[in-house]
Structure 1
Amino acid sequence: MHYLSPASFLGDHFQLPLDARALQRERKRLLADLELTGGDSIELQGRHFTKNQLLAYFDELQQGNIASWHLAIAEDPVLLRFLQDATIRPGADFKDTAVYTDPAFIHWLSPYFSSAFTDAVTACFEMGDAARMRAMLDNKLLMTADHEEQCWLFIAGILEKNIALFDHYHTRGQKTAPAMMPITQISAFIGHGYIEVIRQLPDHRFGRLKDSYAFNMQHPAIAVFNRDLRNRPLTVIWLEEAISLAVSPNAKAVIRAKLEEFNQLMRKRKRRQYFRYAWIAMVVLGLISGIFGDPSSNPGEFFFQKTPTDPVRTVTLPDPMTDTTGHLDSYTPEVHAPGKDSARHP
């Protein structure tokens, strides 16, 4: 349900008591506009309303305290904008007014508030807007316990879907798989902005799910580390973000151990690259020394066979340096996925 303020079409006429004639005039005008469009709905404040919804809206407006509740919202620009546009500025607060504690008011407003809340949550995740998520959660959630739980389940569904994607990405990233999925399919859900949005969620409701999400971030990190050499530095960043997201000390320790494993393997590879380049430099210097300098100072063996027409020089060089496996260039450390048992957190 999308909220529509009477002030959007009554303007200055929206005051108590309601101007019945102005209300009837606006009702007829909106219904006439709907007929002229030839469609099933009319757009008001960026939302579409059918004929039945308009009739129900005007009928409700004349019942009980409904008009006074609308007026209270109209006098709270922050809440009004949130309900109509599903957005809120960082640091903005709803007014502290008694009507916001009235159970009858909460029951009436709850469907509108929960609809705006889920729209805003979706936008926060899509844009990586942690500041807006924080602003929403810092304000009173003006909805019933049932609607609040539905909103939490909506958010949990988003996170669980991403966890399933991480597992699938890891499976496709194994060396026996035909091809990896593009890294862009998971990068949006594992980057800093997205993780910051998740971190704003209350630990008492999402602590276990945060741990699970952080633990499963290891799966795409392992897949990329093993099969995408160019993007290995990203995997370190992802695991650092996972540590910041995890809530329990146990989850943090498990991920931190995997991060240290990554760092050790990367340092080992860098050392091998250093020795490889150093050896190449020595060989090149040896060749230059043999050609232009004293042959006796060259690390290789140089033999000169003179003929009447052209000197011939034969160069014998030592064998190249290899690693313990004998395959330096093809060395790719295999990082194993964490065991299933370690994914369970207390």
Structure 2
Amino acid sequence: MTQTITSLLEQYEQRILGQQKNLRLLLTAALAGGHVLIEGVPGTGKTKMVKTLAQLLDSEYKRVQFTPDLLPSDITGSAIYNMKEQDFQTLKGPIFTNVLLADEINRTPAKTQAALLEAMEEKQVTIQGETYKLPDFFFVAATQNPIEFEGTYPLPEAQQDRFFFKLLVDFPTLEEETDVLQMVLAEQASAKELDAIFSNEALLEIQQKVQEVTINKDIADYIMKIVRKTRELEHIQYGASTRAAIAIAKTAQSWAFLDNRDYVTPDDVKTVAIPSLRHRVQLSPYAELEGSDIDETIQELVGSIAVPR
């Protein structure tokens, strides 16, 4: 199993250059049973990151382009009357898949954004009063553009809290960007397909093993101290919820599993703390005016908590 995970990460990093840590964090969230919000300017490979992961995991992949006129039923599905059968027929929407890419989620109104909430939290969808289960492996990756805010609808805090991670995708280095160009040109010439690494059954088995990774009481206390500290600092206006602690714990288990360990260390917690908290913690207006950075604030906060021995 360890060799297979290593092979998956190697192939993933060969296809998506310059985003090594983000790729590992994306896989970490998927194996932990969570969802990810990805922020980055256009053309930085956000869509390819998600689509490639779905291919490697042998998972069904669907992409929805979120627009201002998108309706909730366009995502979840709807019930229509079949004249021939003289009965209502349920047409399931694109949310019935393993990996769903919600592209530019902040370009659609809150009513449509909220259509994802039940699915992300409970792995089920309600259509015309009937509840339908989603696949056992269900992973939502939503993207948003940090520029061009005109005509957008910022995600409510309640929905942002449903995402385990918020990943920031930046431009690669000159060398990496040149390699990307050469790789794309080579792919056009060869048109080589990407082979899946895991079957669906093996993927579900891995998710079960991730849940079995040990978090002792000292580590659990350490996680809670970090989360509670976000509510105590003066320059943080809104701190993190209990759901943040759950996200940190589950992704720390997944990160440890990818590192071939069956126990969580404080370093695992430190690694996942920033992507777990950056979208859940809001700086005070004074701190923003002072030029404080949310990632640096979280890093300093985590560093101020005594590490368990």
Bin for the TM-score computed over the shorter chain? under 0.3
TM-score, length basis structure 2? 0.23
Structure whose residues are more often strand by fraction: 2
TM-score, length basis structure 1? 0.21
Higher relative contact order (CA 8 A, sep 6+): 2
Structure with the greater alpha carbon radius of gyration: 1
